[in-house]
Amino acid sequence: MTVAAGLIASMAFPVFAQDGTGPIPQNAQSRSYGEGWNCDFGYRVDGAECLALDIPENAFATGRSYGLGWECGRGYAAVEGSSCAAIPVPDNAFLRSSGYGWQCDRGYRKDRENCVLIDLPDKAYLTDDGSGSGWTCERGFAASSGACVPIAVPENGYLTNAEYGYEWTCERGFFKIDSRCDPVVLPANAFLVSESYGPAWRCERGFEKSENACFPIDLPANAHLDRSGNTWRCNPGFRSSDGACVLGR
């Protein structure tokens, strides 16, 4: 049974290679391809011999031909390349799945090398963020000095639910001025747009904007409305000159 387990392990992991073609030493076997031999799993090449690895407690052989040839087991860390020490896990914490660190339990946050209870304010709930406060405010509230205070939303405004930036914005047809939402003054021959910049409206096709109004476009001969519909361009073969389209050269 032990021999079978050793054979399985030697097949499952790479072994240390020997480039020579001399006699096969103890604890080695012929390569499956080419010339030379390989040390058995758990041994390393030393000249013409295969010496057993000095694997410390709570470690395992890696089978790699570089480094120490061993790694510490889950929950342990190498100390000066000679031993494996248990990773200290504080109260109210658990070892990460990688086995190389720890994380606080839900309801606790990291404070240096400890896990301290999260002081959850009213109108807040726990998050999975291991850094920071470990909590966030419910919808309609914002964090301020360790508490959750109501967000003042003006008339014709609504909450954005954004994690950063504006906490509220104005309804369609209104624009933000200081802490209020004022109605958009929509001129004739215009329609509302959802752009976060500009006047919040655009002229209909065939009209152009001038200050706060939309005026009909005076389309010259041999011209057409461009893609926006709010200005014109000369037809192919013509060029613009003093508000007209003349034959190009």
Query: pLDDT by residue (tens digit) across 29-63?
Result: 888 888 888 888 888 888 888 888 999 999 999 87
Tokens for 9, please give them.
């392990």
Sorting pLDDT into bands at 50, 70 and 90, what band is 217?
very high
The arithmetic mean of pLDDT across residues 120-147, rounded, is 91
Query: With a threshold of 0.75, does the pTM exceed it?
Result: no
Cβ within 8 Å of residue 219, ≥6 positions away: 225, 232
Coil, helix or strand for 184?
coil
Helix (H) or strand (E) holding 74: none
Cα separation, 234 vs 173, in Å, equals 35
Q: Which residue has the higher pLDDT, 181 or 2?
A: 181
Q: Which residue has the higher pLDDT, 37 or 149?
A: 149
pLDDT at 21: 57
Q: How far is CA 58 from CA 79, 86, 88, 90, in A?
A: 12, 9, 15, 20
Q: Give yes or no for residue 27 having a pLDDT over 70.
A: yes
8 A C-beta contact, residue 159 and residue 153: yes
pLDDT at 7: 35
Cα separation, 119 vs 112, in Å, equals 17
Q: Output the average pLDDT for the chain.
A: 87
The arithmetic mean of pLDDT across residues 159-185, rounded, is 91
pLDDT at 5: 36
pLDDT tens string 80-123:
989 999 999 999 999 999 998 999 999 999 999 999 999 999 99
Phi, psi of 177 (to 5 degrees): -130, 110
For the ranges 56-70, 85-99, 143-157, 216-230, the lowest mean pLDDT is seen at 56-70
Q: Give yes or no for residue 6 having a pLDDT over 60.
A: no
